[in-house]
Structure 1
Amino acid sequence: MQTNCYLRFGQLLENLDTFAVLIGYEHNSPLLTNTGISPLSIVTAMVDEIKIHHDLIDPTVDIIMTGHVMWTGKSSLEIGMWLKQEDKSVLDAEFVMVARDPESKKAAVIHPLETTNEEEMKLFEAGNQHKQQRLAEANESLFQNPPTLEERQIVHEIFLKTLDPRSKSFRSRVLPEGSVWMESTRLKNAVVCFPEKRNIHNKVFGGYLMRKAFELAWANACVFSGNRPYVVAVDDILFHCPVPIGSLLLMSSQVSYSDGKKFIARVHAEVMDTLQGTSTTSNVFHFTFTCGDHPVPTVVPMTYGGRVWKGIWRWYDERMVRSCNLDEIQKEGVTMDQLACIARCNQLNADVVYVDEHTSIDDFRRVVEDTCKGNSSAVICSFGKSYLGALGVGQFATIAGYHAERGLVLALEPARYKHRIFWTPLECLWGAMVATDKATDPTIDLQRGYMVLSQAKPLKNRKNIE
């Protein structure tokens, strides 16, 4: 129970995950060995749906949890759970679990589900429909397709409302009355993954991740609304990768949408390997809150891209660009040539300059000065992070400013949720670009350098091409 006499919903999410895992192992009990240890490793793949029937669950009344397997595939199963208080439904949940071989980590065959009556057959068919729906939604995702014309139009209209009517410049932005910039709604947290939160596979328990994400989202909702909010909806939760014990879990919450009395808090969870300086997205959570009759401000994105995700609000990141080799890049890293190829695929000119004995720092300084004076081009540098005294191997950064008198350049880090922008002497950045790239391809020394990006001329008959 919380201090405001509300149920600890994050703890309830953790209990649901524990219950789902238990049901999964119980279903596969015929596969148990003589030692009583299951040869399978059953983990949560996603939370497909959570329906909250009563916004305020009574914390003084016992909650009865029931659940069973609704559908099975070859290596996955869908589990339905129903929560009641005094014979009244308060919450329904559907979890998708997957079975893995503990040694090879590959998919393992689970026990099939046999239906014995019409009700069970209906549940099994519903599970099949849920699977088809998940596949259809994946194909419609912005990770696969760009925003629709309607979505782009709505985002553009919101952007126009933030322009200063006395100015004809896109740089002159004004905050509409009763609104807040989305950038101001952020709240972050770092969690050290200790062994007491591990599961039997020596990874962090998925239910614990959901609880920590919800608690951060709820705290952010309190700050944003200035009130005591309660959750009314939970969107699908995907588990992209396991979280090892000993890693650092970075969580960032942001209010991404508000509509009168309801608003959505998004939590991005990322597991960081502090020794390697690398990080990977583990989960993205979306929680909808309300404060009853208490209104909340309207959230307005600061950038034209709109750093939001739901409905018309979508994240624009590397997974939305047009390229033919993104899967390879996400596994092995990106080279200068590949980044230039991605830029050209997205209607940009990319002039690449590799730093070697034939290039001059004076030419680089002139390029930086020219691009920082205008707004028609930009410079992206590839450099060795260790040369600048930072963790990690290599990095790309956009040059956003140049202080001629002091000889300093302002570098924008791509991962701004964990790294700050920084000033560095142009000579030091040049030295960092001289360092070769051995991490992306250990067999050869790839040259680093910089590239100048500018907008390409529009293609003729573009409609026919698309």
Structure 2
Amino acid sequence: MAHLYRTTLCRLSLSLGSNCTRKLSARASTVPLAIRAFSSTSSGRTDGVFRELTAQRLQTPWIEALRKQQVEGKSSAEGSATPRPPKERELEAKRMDDSYHKVVLPLARDPWLLDTYLNSSGHIRLGTIFMDLDALSGVIAYKHTGDDVTTVTASCDRIVINHPLTEICDLELSGKVTYATGRSSMEITMQVAKAPQEGERIKNEDILIHCTMASLPDHGGSGSGYKEVQRYQLPAAMGMKTDMASRPVNVNPLVVSTLEEKRLYALGERNSKIRKQRKETALTKHTPNDLESDLIHAFWQKQLQYHDPYDELRKPDNAHFMDTTILRNATIMQPQNRNRHQFMIFGGFLLKQTFELAFTTAAAFAHARPTFVSLDPSTFQNPVPVGSILYMTATVVYTDPPLIGAPGEQFDPESEYTRVQVRVDSKVRDVEHGRSKPTGTFNYTFTVKKNIRVVPRTYQEFMLYLDARRRAEEVKETLQEEGVGLSPTSAEQSVTE
């Protein structure tokens, strides 16, 4: 600083003359030099994901990745002639602990890191935590499969709040592969908990979030991240060539020995069967069952009463038609939110975007602050390319208690709290607005302190309603089996949102 001060004096002497210089020099000799020390701490933020979870990614500036892709794109035909590796591979079994990984978010110790996780009311943004969980699942998957394959999140079975977090504290994110038969998929179980003291173990009441995700691997090669993702998806991302077919490959099977490992593996096996059953019985393939058909008929009869001039019954004030609950959003996908393969958007970013739109939709529907309960079974369908436009449509598709129950169903129509299920459908288009492709369907459940109901009235809305009802019943059963979940009153006490 002193050197800088003297340099400034010299420059002034040249422009002002010797007299001014002598005056300035005399004044400078009587004024003590104040030396200011500048320091900076390492930034705790990256593209919205905790830095330790992105440390293993290939750090390539976007401009370099783009130029490389443009050069390689001119000779893309050469890449298509590359010999394909065999689909079946001999892989040795691994233990669950081989893929175990954990990180600690020092939210209580680092106020600037905490600043990137808070919303306007001082609550921890769950959408940002979801980004970290998706990044963590990627780290775990690669520890299990190795770097010679590309692993993509295929679905999220659920993210459930176990116990409310009542104070800002350091959080420990941990997880491992808990189900892998040796075929081309695996299940990863993770949790977010209050970070324990050194030498202590996490207590059950300190677990904030329980999360299960399914991942699919595809054969990749070093240095060709974009093509790896392109091969995995069918159809490929819009505007890109589709001469390469999806090539899922086998992964290492798991060997289990302890009682806890056997329990986790059994849960993964059950979740796999549920996913297969859900596909086989989907409403897109089969008509509603008898009970569901009776429910549709009951709704239709009720709406006839609402419009019958000779019937005093009218739609209650707390009932709202489904098409009035819709909120939409569109945003362009920027390279700052790309994944490790450079040209596709990070899946955790999509979770964050869809969660915040779902939260807003639930709030607009109920005119009350929603409390997050769970992310119910959701699927990723197609990749989202950098530079594309993502369209999201959120709809309230189910409320519990319902306005009309199925025959024999027991519920409290005067319940103070209502569970609101919001479905977010996302699709992607290129900037020129060519073909659109679905990218995923995400189902979020919130609790609101209000007696409010949603009412379907078209056939499409009835299908959305029945699909959501099936999912709600399915989630209830699995949560009861595992003994997780929390009451609406305790959920309101959480500092997360």
TM category (shorter chain) comes to 0.5 to 0.7
Counterpart position of 1:63: 171
Say yes or no: does 1:227 pair with 2:368.
Answer: yes
Per the alignment, in what secondary structure is the counterpart of residue 304 of structure 2? coil
Q: Does 1:92 align with 2:210?
A: yes
Residues 222, 229 of structure 1: 8 Å contact kept: yes
Q: Which residue of 2 aligns with 1:290?
A: 447
Counterpart position of 2:258: 117
2-structure distance, mates of 1:84, 1:153 = 44
Who is 2:428 aligned against?
271
- 1:185 is aligned to 325
Structure 1 residues 180, 67: closer, same or farther in 2, change over 3 A? same
Quote the offset at 1:274 in angstroms.
Answer: 3.9
User: What SS is found at the alignment partner of 2:454?
Assistant: strand
Taking the TM superposition and a 5 Å limit, the aligned residue runs for 1:241-280 are 241-258=382-399, 259=401, 260=415, 261-275=418-432, 277-280=434-437
Spell out the pairing of 1:311-390 with structure 2 (5 A cutoff): 311=466
Q: 2:248 aligns with which of 107, 127, 134?
A: 107
Task: Name the one with the larger helix percent.
Answer: 2
- In the alignment, the residues of structure 1 paired with residue 446 and residue 257 of structure 2 have an alpha-carbon distance, to the nearest angstrom, of 41
Q: Which residue of 2 aligns with 1:195?
A: 335
Distance (Å, rounded) in 2 between the aligned partners of 1:312 and 1:129: 20
Q: In the alignment, residue 159 of structure 2 is paired with which amino acid?
A: I
Distance in 2 (alpha carbons) for counterparts of 1:150 and 1:134 = 22
The residue that corresponds to 1:78 in the other structure is 187
Q: Secondary structure at the match of 1:235?
A: strand
| Cα distance, 1:50 vs structure 2 | 2.1
Distance between the aligned counterparts of 1:241 and 1:68, measured in 2?
Answer: 25
In structure 2, relative to structure 1, the CA distance for the partners of 1:174 and 1:68 (3 Å cut) is: same
For residue 240 of structure 1, what is the aligned residue in structure 2?
381
Kept in 2, the 8 Å contact 1:159–1:304? The answer is no
Give the C-alpha shift of residue 161 in structure 1: 1.6
CA distance in 2, matches of 1:132, 1:304: 29
Shift of 1:92: 1.1
Which residue is 1:211 aligned to?
352
1:249-303 per-residue CA deviation (whole Å, 9 max, x = no partner) reads 0001111122352211111111123435211111111111113xx2142211232
* SS of equivalent to 2:393: strand
Residues 357, 394 of structure 2: 8 Å contact kept: yes
Query: In the TM superposition, what is the alpha-carbon distance from 1:75 to its structure 2 partner?
Result: 2.2
Equivalent pair of 1:155/1:306 in contact (CA under 8 Å): no
- The corresponding residue for 1:133 is 274
Q: State the 1:152 CA deviation.
A: 1.5
User: Does the 8 A contact of 2:283 with 2:463 survive in 1?
Assistant: no
CA deviations 1:212-265 (Å, max 9, x no partner) are 000001111121121211111221111111111111100011111223522111
Shift in CA distance, 313/211, structure 1 to aligned 2, threshold 3 Å: closer
Which letter does structure 1 place at the counterpart of 2:209? L
Contact 2:387 2:431 in 1 (8 A): no
Are the aligned partners of 2:396 and 2:422 in contact in 1 as well (CA < 8 Å)? yes
1:108 is paired with a residue whose SS is coil
The amino acid of 1:203's aligned partner reads M
Q: Which amino acid aligns with 1:300?
A: V
Whole-angstrom CA distance in 1 between matches of 2:391 and 2:255: 42
Q: After TM superposition, give the deviation of residue 17 of structure 1 in Å.
A: 0.5
Q: Quick one: distance in 2 between partners of 1:256 and 1:129?
A: 26
> What percentage of aligned pairs have identical amino acids?
29
Secondary structure of the structure 2 residue equivalent to 1:78? strand
**Cα deviation 1:70-91 (Å, max 9, x = unaligned):** 1213222111112222632222
Summarize the Cα distance change of 1:256–1:165 in structure 2 as closer, same or farther, 3 Å threshold: closer
The correspondence for 1:19, drawn from 106, 120, 136, is 136
8 Å Cα contact 1:154-1:312 kept in structure 2: no
Choose the corresponding residue for 2:455, options 294, 297, 300. Answer: 300
For 1:412, the equivalent position in structure 2 comes to: none
SS in 2 for 1:306: helix
In structure 2, the partner of 1:144 is 285
CA change 1:126–1:254 in 2 (3 A) is closer
State the alpha-carbon separation in 2 of the partners of residues 239 and 246 from structure 1: 19
| SS of residue in 1 equivalent to 2:178 | strand
Cα contact 1:50–1:234 (8 A) shared by 2: yes
Where has structure 1 moved over 6 Å in runs of 4 or more?
Answer: none
Q: CA deviation at 1:156?
A: 1.8
Contact preservation (8 Å) 2:362, 2:370: yes
Give the partner amino acid of 1:79.
I
Q: Contact 2:368–2:450 at 8 Å: present in 1 too? A: no
> How many angstroms does 1:304 deviate by?
4.9
Secondary structure of 2:175 counterpart: strand
Amino acid at match of 2:127: G
Partner residue of 2:119? 2
Cα 1:304–1:123 shift into 2, 3 Å? closer
Higher relative contact order (CA 8 A, sep 6+): 2
Map 1:423-462; keep pairs closer than 5 Å: none
Bigger Cα Rg: 2
Contact 2:398 2:469 in 1 (8 A): no
8 A contact 2:190–2:211 mirrored in 1 = yes
User: Partner letter of residue 264 of structure 1?
Assistant: Q
> Match of 1:40, as an amino acid?
V
Contact 2:307–2:314 at 8 Å: present in 1 too? Answer: no
- Which position in structure 1 is the counterpart of 2:158? 49
Contact 1:10–1:210 (Cα < 8 Å) also in 2: yes
Write the distance in 2 (CA, Å) between the matches of 1:252 and 1:219: 12
CA apart distance, 1:177: 3.3
Deviations along 1:75-129, one digit per CA (max 9) or x if unpaired, are: 2211111222263222211111111123554112323333343432333333223
Structure 1 residues 122, 249: closer, same or farther in 2, change over 3 A?
same
**AA in 1 matched with 2:421:** I
